[in-house]
Amino acid sequence: MSPSGPSSDFLPGIELSRYCYREFLAPVFHGYPHAAALLGPGSEVFGFDTNRSTDHDWGPRLQVFVEDETGELAARAERALPREVHGHPRLPGALEVAGLGTWFRARLGFDPGEPTVFDWLATPTQLLAEVTGGAVFHDGTGELTAVRTRLSWYPDQVWRYILACQWQKISEEESFPGRCAEAGDELGAAVVAARLVRELMRLGFLLERRYPPYSKWLGSAFARLELARESAPVLRTATGAREAGEREQALATAYGHLARAQNALELTEPVDTAIRTYHARPYRVLHAERFADALLAGITDPQLRGLSRAGAVDQYADDPKVLVPQGPCPATTGNTARAITAAVHPGLSGSR
């Protein structure tokens, strides 16, 4: 088996962490209210890790949530977890013993018990996926499960708004591949088509109420969606097409798939899914802004009704340093997503 793929003796990171909790840490915390989990960054949290993942930033790690996060219990846990487990060295900071609220505020930048509209729009989907993915090994109080459930998806009105903005984002470029091709710019047409494919994939996650991960795992996670069975083949065709007609047909087919999926949610009255020309030009498009219009018309939250169609931070920022913040406290270490969101939606900044 290739070292880049799974092998019979590879133990996925989630199972390695589960083993660490069961064998070494559960006895330490026995009798104390606590929760234990593997959350946060890393391919293992999403179940995408393979042998290849083990060459850096991979090893036994987990979080234990307790009320007393700095006392003797934490010190005992540090001593109990070996420096190496199943041949994999323990990384610095691999064991986090923290209060539940403290840990989530450090990861997300807001109180997980009371997220505001601003919090939802300012938090990259990668971070939301990290804290709602992974695995919970023990939750004696139920508090961790309650927080993860609360953060598992956007509130209904926020979801509708972000969905509308995603349709608007597609609308703004859906005519570009045709125009580029007509101008003799096949490279430009391919680039814009690839951008549209990415946005259609992200739309698929929104339709199925799943947080899209960052670019490295976007395709792998998309393949798990129900929509991917129908949409993935034509999206691949759109990115690999060698001539304008094939590219246009593939994109048009994908638009139809996702438009029908949108209507099936019954969030609005049905919107016509027929492909049409772009004004007087021969390019075949959906005019996706019609779906945005329908969704926005049904929004009643006064905070959301007054916003532009910019959407959430992932819809107007495209830098990994913003959308994939690193470090033990990504919400405060190099994460500018909240500052950018405050600039885009100034009326929401700090609102509760």
> For residue 132, which amino acid is it?
T
pLDDT at 237: 97
pLDDT at 67: 86
Residue 288: closest CA among 327, 258, 243: 258
Cα–Cα dist 104/98, whole Å: 10
pLDDT at 93: 87
207: helix, coil or strand? Answer: helix
User: Structure tokens of 101?
Assistant: 């609220």
Residue 131: closest CA among 142, 144, 116, 117: 144
pLDDT at 8: 54
Classify burial at 337, counting beta carbons within 10 Å of its beta carbon; exposed 0-12, middle 13-18, buried 19 or more: buried
Cα–Cα dist 96/36, whole Å: 10
Each of the 352 residues of the chain gets a pLDDT tens digit; together they read: 344 444 458 899 999 999 999 999 999 999 999 999 999 999 999 999 999 998 888 889 999 999 876 688 899 999 999 999 999 999 888 999 999 999 999 999 999 998 999 999 999 999 999 999 999 999 999 999 999 999 999 999 999 999 999 999 999 999 999 999 999 999 999 999 999 999 999 999 999 999 999 999 999 999 999 999 999 999 999 999 999 999 999 999 999 999 999 999 999 999 999 999 999 999 999 999 999 999 999 999 999 998 999 999 999 999 988 888 777 777 765 578 999 999 999 988 654 4
